[in-house]
């Protein structure tokens, strides 16, 4: 998968923190990247669009660009001077604590993705070999579904943790501080909020859930099953890669039991599993890149405060 950072342009409704007038072009560049990512976040969180892997990769690409700008901003002598001047205040502890939590969650999300990829590969292998007949495939499908249910519970815990992190902000008294200092801290707050939002989108993708939706995946599948006149491809085109696999395996499991049209369902499941594997590998690459940027930003921040 191409790891892209081409983000949509347009107005945004995500929580916005107005910034004072600024002179350095780097600050304007950071604000530009933040504005683009706000548009992506609001569109993804609205529930009006399916959380597909390629869209999340675009968000990760934009986040990478934003962290590159943040790194440049932290290297400015003026930035380092004002941060050192205010290093004993509570905001520094909160920023450092937030960066550590984001690193932990990035690593956990990467582990969850790796586990998903391993389960997908195991199921692909079982379907290709088809040793042991239909019962063998069905047992592998059941094992995959069981694994997904366990992962979904774990993912739900991390989504709740991200929601709690999203509510922690630095005091508004920073508005009365030095202009450049206030600007830098506000930017760091915005970056944290956007990072949390993109991580939540990835977790929603992995759990086959969507923001503001209460339907279970199996209720969605039941509706799809009742639309007999609609082809399998048409049913699945508006769903994420994870949802497509869930539907394909559900259909395959039923076909195996009825001995009707099994080969068609096997081919569909193989196609969906391969597509998911490729998409997950793209997300893995994006997360690995973000993990390095999160580490670099934290190291730069610590180096400034240690002077």
User: What are the residue boundaries of the structural domains of the chain, listed by start?
Assistant: 25-305
User: What confidence score (pLDDT) does residue 23 get?
Assistant: 54
pTM of the model: 0.79
Question: How far is it, in rounded angstroms, from Cα 26 to Cα 78?
Answer: 12
- What percentage of the chain reaches a pLDDT higher than 70? 73
Residue 261 predicted with pLDDT over 70:
no
Alpha helices in the chain (DSSP H): 25-45, 53-74, 77-85, 90-129, 133-166, 179-206, 217-226, 232-236, 241-258, 262-305
* DSSP secondary structure letter of residue 4: -
How much is the mean pLDDT over the chain?
78
User: What confidence score (pLDDT) does residue 75 get?
Assistant: 94
CA dist list (Å): 143 to 1, 146, 163, 275, 297: 27, 5, 30, 20, 40
For residue 81, the number of C-alpha atoms closer than 13 Å in the C-beta half-sphere is 6
pLDDT digits (tens, 9 = 90+) for 220-232: 444 434 443 334 4
Residue 53 predicted with pLDDT over 70:
yes
- State residue 15 phi and psi, 5-degree precision: -50, 125
CA dist list (Å): 197 to 15, 26, 67, 222, 267: 11, 24, 15, 30, 36
Residue 139 predicted with pLDDT over 60:
yes
- Contact 42/59 with Cβ under 8 angstroms? no
User: What confidence score (pLDDT) does residue 69 get?
Assistant: 94
- Contact 294/102 with Cβ under 8 angstroms? yes
99/139: higher pLDDT: 99
């Amino acid at each position: 998968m191409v790891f892209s950072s081409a983000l949509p342009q347009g107005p945004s409704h995500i929580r916005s923190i107005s910034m004072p007038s600024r002179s350095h072009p780097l600050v304007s560049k950071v604000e530009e990247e933040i504005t683009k990512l706000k548009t992506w976040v609001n569109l993804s969180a609205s529930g009006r669009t399916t959380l597909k892997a390629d869209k999340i990769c675009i968000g990760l690409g934009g986040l990478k660009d934003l962290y590159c700008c943040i790194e440049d901003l932290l290297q400015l002598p003026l930035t380092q001077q004002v941060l050192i001047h205010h290093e004993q205040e509570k905001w520094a502890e909160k920023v450092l604590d937030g960066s550590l939590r984001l690193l932990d969650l990035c690593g956990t999300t990467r582990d969850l993705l790796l586990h998903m990829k391993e389960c997908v590969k195991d199921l692909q292998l079982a379907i290709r070999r088809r040793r042991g007949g239909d019962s063998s495939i069905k047992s592998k499908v059941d094992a995959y579904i069981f694994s997904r249910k366990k992962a979904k519970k774990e993912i739900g815990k991390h989504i709740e943790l991200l929601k709690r992190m999203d509510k922690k902000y630095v005091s508004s008294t920073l508005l009365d501080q030095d202009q450049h200092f206030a600007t830098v801290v506000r930017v760091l707050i915005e970056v944290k909020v956007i990072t949390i939002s993109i991580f939540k989108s990835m977790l929603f993708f992995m759990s086959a859930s969507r923001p503001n939706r209460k339907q279970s995946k199996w209720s969605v599948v039941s509706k799809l099953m009742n639309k007999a006149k609609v082809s399998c491809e048409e049913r699945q085109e508006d769903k994420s890669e994870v949802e497509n696999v869930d539907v394909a395996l559900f259909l395959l499991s039923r076909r195996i039991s009825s001995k009707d049209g099994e080969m068609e369902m096997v081919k569909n499941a193989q196609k969906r599993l391969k597509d998911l594997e490729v998409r997950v590998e793209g997300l893995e690459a994006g997360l690995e890149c973000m993990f390095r940027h999160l580490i670099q930003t934290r190291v730069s921040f610590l180096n400034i405060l240690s002077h």
